[in-house]
Structure 1
Amino acid sequence: MTLEVEVMADQIRRAFRGESWHGPSVLEVLAGVSAEDAAAHPIAGAHSIWEIVLHMTAGYRLVLRRVRGEDAQFSLVEGWPPVPALSSEAWLESQRTLEELNQQLQSAVRTFPAERLSQALGSEYSAYTQFCGAPQHDVYHAGQITILKKALAAARGAA
């Protein structure tokens, strides 16, 4: 393992688990979110927390498929899959799946041959771009989740 792939895997871990300078990680912003809150749409026209989690899951799956050699793309439905029926169990399963796939991505990056980082990986984007993009994508969506949580809290305060 080279330092470069280790640094990328560490950034994927930090954006998801914590210990990063940018602010709260994905797991930190999801802590304490109920299934009801995850499914809520407190901002008109915006995705719900649950929809964002499923989208992030789809992103991890896409990159992992590409690492396995597929020229994988996904449709709008694959990128934004429907939320399952509302239940605490389904919400916990969505979070567990997200966490498992994040771990799989970290492992895949750690074992990826550094000499292939500049090569296209199942799309027009290089492996390097996709591996660096994964934590950027996480941070972007963690920010959205934070805003949705604030909107939910504000709606409760107004009620």
Structure 2
Amino acid sequence: MFNITNEIKKAFNGDAWHGNHVMQTLNNVNPESAFSHFVPGAHSIAEIALHLTAWTEEVSSRLTGKPAEEPAMGDWPEPEGRTPKDWERIIFNFKIANEELIRVCEAIKDNQWDDEVKSERNPALGTAVTNVELVSGLAQHHAYHSGQIALLSKF
């Protein structure tokens, strides 16, 4: 039987079909380049990692019954600092957010996956979806941004 929790585990730090999982991609980033804007108007690797963390936390919040809204950190949080230690903290916080999400997912009963997320039906916020669609979307989100990070880390 299909297990959506396994999909988020693979995207986060497992054997992802698309290539490196997000943790591997983040750990391969040179800390000195994590805060650089290599493409005019584009986000830095650190900003993308913070965005991933923000949405992972928001998905956990929604899965625990809280109404859908913008992430508490904001959609695109700015790094608080730009040192290698700050980069380590960003990676650590992403790891913690995903470990918490996995704990939340593992606590969801099979009959709850098709429940709709509490929301005001705002498609821009990814609302009016079921729990399984929400987690599936986050796994896709992880893969998409992992690809961006992998490309940016080549500069």
TM-score of the superposed pair, with normalisation by structure 1: 0.85
Greater relative contact order: 1 or 2 (C-alpha under 8 angstroms, separation 6 or more)? 1
Larger of the two Rg values belongs to structure: 1
For 2:4 and 2:73, the matched residues in 1 are separated by 28
More helix by share: 1
What are the ranges of 5 or more consecutive residues in structure 1 without an aligned counterpart? 153-159
Tell me what 2:69 maps to.
73
SS of 1:53 mapped into structure 2? helix
Listed one character per residue, the Cα deviations across residues 4-42 of structure 1 (whole Å, up to 9, x for unaligned) are 4xx211111111113122111111211232332110111
Kindly report the root-mean-square deviation, in angstroms, between the aligned alpha carbons of the 2 structures: 1.8
Q: Which runs of 4+ in 1 moved over 3 A?
A: none
SS of 2:153 mapped into structure 1? helix
TM-score of the superposed pair, with normalisation by structure 2: 0.87
1:18 and 1:28 in contact (8 A); partners too = no
> Aligned pair in 2 of structure 1 residues 92, 77: CA closer, same or farther (>3 Å)?
closer
What are the ranges of 5 or more consecutive residues in structure 2 without an aligned counterpart? 120-127
Tell me what 2:112 maps to.
116
2:49 and 2:91 in contact (8 A); partners too = yes
Q: Of 16, 21, 26, which residue of structure 2 is paired with 1:20?
A: 16
Letter in 1 for 2:29: V
Residue-pair matches, total: 147
